[in-house]
C-alpha cells in the first residue's frame, strides 16, 4: 500500500471524521474532528493500517485562535515503517477530548502530562492527576497565559 493511496484508503475508511490531510516536509498529517478521534484511532491501530505504536502525544496552545488547544498525536507502524501525525483542535478555554488509554498503555502517562501542563481534560482516563508538578501547584505551566518565572514554592524559602 503505497504512500499516496494510504491516505486515500484512510479517508475512504473514515470519510466524515477526517477534516483534511496534508504532507508537510515529508510527514503525512491528518486533521481529525474531535468527536471522531477514538474511532479513527482504533481503526488505525489494527487491521489494514496497523499503526501499532503511539509514538508521542502532545498539545500546543494557540492562545490567539478561537479553538485554543490543538492535540498532536504521532503514530508509527512497525510493519510499514511509516509515521503519521494526527491533529485535533479543541475549542474553548476548558478543552476536553476522549482518552486513548484503552488503545495504548503509554497514553495513560502522556495524557496525565498534558493534563498537568495544559489542563486538557481526557474523558475516560482512569486516574487523571498531575504527574510532573506537585499537588499544591495552581495553574498549568505550559499554557501561554502562565508567566514563565512565576514560582510557587512548596516550603518557605529564605531569600
Partner 1 sequence: METRIQKEARPDTMLLNMGPSHPAMHGTFRIMLELEGEKILNAEVEIGYLHRGFEKTCENKTYFNLLPYTDRLNYVSPQINNLGYAMTMEKMLGIEVPERAQQIRVLMSELSRVSDHLTCLAAMAMENGAFTVFLYMMKAREFLWDVIEFTTGSRMTTSYIRIGGVRADLFEGWRDAVKKAVLETRRVLKDVHGLLDKNQIFLNRTRGIGAISKEDALSYGWTGPCLRSTGVLYDVRKAHPYLTYDRLSFDVPLGERGDNYDRYMVRMLEMEQSLRIIEQVAGLITDKRPRAKTEEIEPTEAVRLGRTQKPRQKIRLSPNLEGSEKQRYPEILTADAPVVVPPKEDTYTTMEGLISHFLFFMKGYGIRPPKGDVYFSVEGGNGEVGFYIVSDGTDRPYRLHLRAPCFHIVSAIEQLIKGRFVADVIPTFGSMNMIGGELDR
Partner 2 sequence: MSGFDFLTTRFDMAVGWARKFSLFHYPFITACCGMEYMSAACAHFDIDRFGAGLTRFSPRQADLLLVVGTVSHKLAPALRTVYEQMMEPKWVIAFGACAVSGGIYQNYAAVQGIDKIIPVDVYIPGCPPRPEMVLDGLLKLQEKIQNQGQDWRWKKKT
The residues binding partner 2 (CB under 8 A) are 133-134, 141, 146-155, 157-159
Residue 16 or 138: the one with the smaller Cβ distance to partner 1 is 138
Residue 144 or 154: the one with the smaller Cβ distance to partner 2 is 154
The minimum distance between CB 133 and partner 2, in angstroms, equals 7
| Residue 153 partner contact from partner 1, partner 2, none using kind-dependent CB cut-offs of 5 to 8 Å | partner 2
CA dihedral of residues 43, 7, 31, 78 (deg, nearest 10): 60
CB 90 within 8 A of CB 33: no
Cα–Cα separations (whole angstroms), residue 24 to 27, 56, 71, 84: 5, 18, 17, 11
| Residue 125 partner contact from partner 1, partner 2, none using kind-dependent CB cut-offs of 5 to 8 Å | none
Phi-psi region of 126 (alpha: psi -120 to 50; beta: other; left: phi over 0): alpha
Residue 42 or 145: the one with the smaller Cβ distance to partner 2 is 145
| Residue 101 partner contact from partner 1, partner 2, none using kind-dependent CB cut-offs of 5 to 8 Å | none
| Residue 14 partner contact from partner 1, partner 2, none using kind-dependent CB cut-offs of 5 to 8 Å | none
**What 3-state class would DSSP assign to 138?**
coil
Amino acid at each position: 500500500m503505497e504512500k499516496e493511496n494510504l491516505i486515500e484508503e484512510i479517508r475512504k475508511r473514515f470519510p466524515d471524521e477526517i477534516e483534511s490531510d496534508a504532507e508537510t516536509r515529508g510527514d503525512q498529517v491528518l486533521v481529525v474532528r474531535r468527536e471522531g478521534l477514538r474511532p479513527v484511532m482504533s481503526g488505525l491501530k489494527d487491521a489494514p493500517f496497523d499503526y501499532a505504536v503511539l509514538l508521542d502525544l502532545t498539545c500546543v496552545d494557540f492562545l490567539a485562535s478561537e479553538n485554543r488547544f490543538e492535540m498532536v498525536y504521532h503514530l508509527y507502524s512497525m510493519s510499514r515503517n511509516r509515521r503519521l501525525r494526527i491533529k485535533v483542535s479543541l475549542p474553548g478555554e476548558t478543552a476536553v477530548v476522549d482518552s486513548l488509554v484503552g488503545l495504548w498503555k503509554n497514553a495513560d502517562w502522556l495524557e496525565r502530562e498534558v493534563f498537568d501542563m495544559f489542563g486538557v481534560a481526557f474523558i475516560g482516563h482512569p486516574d487523571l492527576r498531575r504527574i510532573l508538578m506537585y499537588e499544591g501547584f495552581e495553574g498549568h505551566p505550559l499554557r501561554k497565559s502562565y508567566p514563565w518565572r512565576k514560582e510557587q514554592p512548596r516550603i518557605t524559602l529564605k531569600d
